[in-house]
């Protein structure tokens, strides 16, 4: 009988993302619900040092699966490594992030373990059932995992980040032999600009058709920089070529759940709402007070973005300046 909740930590280019701590937060909730121990596994090319950090954040044990084949992310090797960790932990549930890598590992792992899979989990219920959005966030599915072992990916920004507690859990190395791989990792080219990634951002400033041009994104970026926010966009802005696709929020782009989402010149078509409607505080800035996003918003500001955005940015900079002076 499987007995354990396994959180699988996937370092990105050798470092831990804050979202890793959210997985441990979700793991704690599930471990408490199912009354099972919490085990974390850190996978990677050299993951021992990262395991020390993970060990102080609430897991009962930390497994390290370290192998040269895990230096760069490929679906087959990582899924096999996760399966080895799941077996070692005797896991009944395996938790992964809802990133591109996490989703792919979860998908392959579910087949390797012959287990059910639920992605983008936003809520864990006391009986172990989960809730996730579907139909573009228009509906919430309550789901039951029927198999003895099941795999979950956790929606970003939904569970509290596990803090270091002081006491360190024991760390155990797990031997792993990946065997031959059908996938060769050739190279990685990083984004040139060091923009904040949308999926993990606590704040997002997004622009839409109302900006009218690529030039219109300038005050959006300026406000985002002042706030330390990521920049998002509606499909119409992306399709118009004003900003690259990686910024797109919505049904055909990314799903985000920041604490603060500021939508500038976005009318709020259902496809866009699908990607952001579970955000904490939604601010809409639009000249049309009747558009769907102005109706949905926690705070609606009617006005011309070109006039009002620079004023908001200046006001924030001004107050931050005062705060430093004080």
Nearest to 98 by CA among 166, 151, 33: 151
Cα separation of 66 and 47, whole Å? 6
Residues numbered 127-156 forming contacts with another protein, rule: CB under 8 A: 129, 133-147, 150
Please tell me what DSSP assigns to residue 15.
Answer: B
Q: Which is nearer to another protein, 73 or 159 (CB)?
A: 73
Q: How far is CA 68 from CA 11, 249, 264, 279, in A?
A: 14, 35, 45, 39
CA angle 79, 76, 70 (to 5 degrees): 75
Q: Which is nearer to another protein, 10 or 64 (CB)?
A: 10
Binding mask 40-79 for another protein (x = CB under 8 A): --------------------------------xxxxx--x
Min CB(167)–another protein separation in Å: 30
Count of positions on this chain that bind another protein (CB under 8 A): 90
Min CB(79)–another protein separation in Å: 7
Residues numbered 18-47 forming contacts with another protein, rule: CB under 8 A: none
Min CB(192)–another protein separation in Å: 9
Tokens 């998002």, located at residue? 232
Q: Which is nearer to another protein, 174 or 251 (CB)?
A: 251
Min CB(245)–another protein separation in Å: 5
Residue 80 in tokens: 């096999």
Q: Which is nearer to another protein, 167 or 186 (CB)?
A: 186
Q: Which is nearer to another protein, 52 or 134 (CB)?
A: 134
Min CB(311)–another protein separation in Å: 4
Nearest to 234 by CA among 207, 255, 205: 207
Residues numbered 223-252 forming contacts with another protein, rule: CB under 8 A: 227, 245-246, 251-252
Please state the φ and ψ torsions of residue 108, each to the nearest 5 degrees: -70, -40
Cα separation of 149 and 123, whole Å? 19
Residues numbered 151-180 forming contacts with another protein, rule: CB under 8 A: none
Residues 62 and 37 sit within 8 Å (Cβ to Cβ): no
Residue 321 near another protein by CB under 8 A: no
Residues 129-156 as b or e (16 or more Cβ within 10 Å = b) = ebbbbeebbeeeeebebeeebbbbbbbb
Q: Which stretch binds another protein (CB under 8 A): 26-34, 37-45, 163-171, 280-288?
A: 280-288
The residues facing 30 across adjacent strands are none
């Amino acid at each position: 009988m499987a007995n354990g909740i396994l959180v699988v930590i996937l370092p990105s280019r050798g470092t831990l993302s804050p979202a890793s701590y959210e997985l441990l937060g979700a793991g704690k909730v599930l471990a408490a619900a199912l009354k099972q121990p919490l085990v974390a596994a850190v996978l990677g090319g050299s993951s021992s040092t990262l395991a020390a950090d993970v060990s102080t954040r609430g897991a009962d044990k930390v497994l390290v699966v370290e192998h040269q084949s895990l230096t760069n992310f490929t679906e087959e090797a990582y899924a096999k490594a996760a399966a080895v960790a799941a077996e070692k932990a005797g896991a009944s549930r395996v938790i992964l992030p809802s990133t591109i890598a996490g989703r792919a590992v979860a998908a392959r792992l579910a087949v390797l373990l012959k287990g059910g899979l639920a992605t983008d989990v936003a809520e864990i219920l006391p009986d172990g059932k989960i809730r996730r959005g579907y139909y573009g966030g228009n509906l919430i599915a309550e789901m039951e995992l029927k198999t003895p072992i099941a795999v979950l990916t956790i929606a970003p920004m939904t569970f509290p980040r596990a803090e270091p507690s002081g006491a360190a859990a024991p760390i155990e190395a797990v031997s792993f032999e990946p065997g031959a791989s059908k996938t060769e990792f050739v190279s990685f080219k990083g984004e040139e600009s060091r923009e904040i990634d949308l999926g993990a951002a606590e704040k997002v400033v997004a622009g839409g058709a109302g900006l009218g041009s690529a030039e219109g994104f300038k005050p959006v970026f300026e406000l985002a920089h002042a706030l330390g926010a990521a920049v998002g966009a509606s499909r119409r802005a992306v399709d118009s070529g004003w900003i690259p696709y990686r910024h797109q929020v919505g049904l055909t782009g990314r799903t985000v759940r920041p604490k603060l989402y500021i939508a500038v010149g976005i009318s709020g078509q259902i496809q866009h709402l699908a990607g952001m409607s579970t955000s904490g505080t939604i601010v809409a800035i639009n000249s049309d007070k009747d558009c769907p996003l102005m109706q949905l918003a926690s705070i609606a500001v009617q006005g011309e973005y070109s006039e009002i955005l620079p004023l908001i940015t200046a006001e924030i900079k001004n107050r931050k300046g005062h705060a430093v002076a004080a």
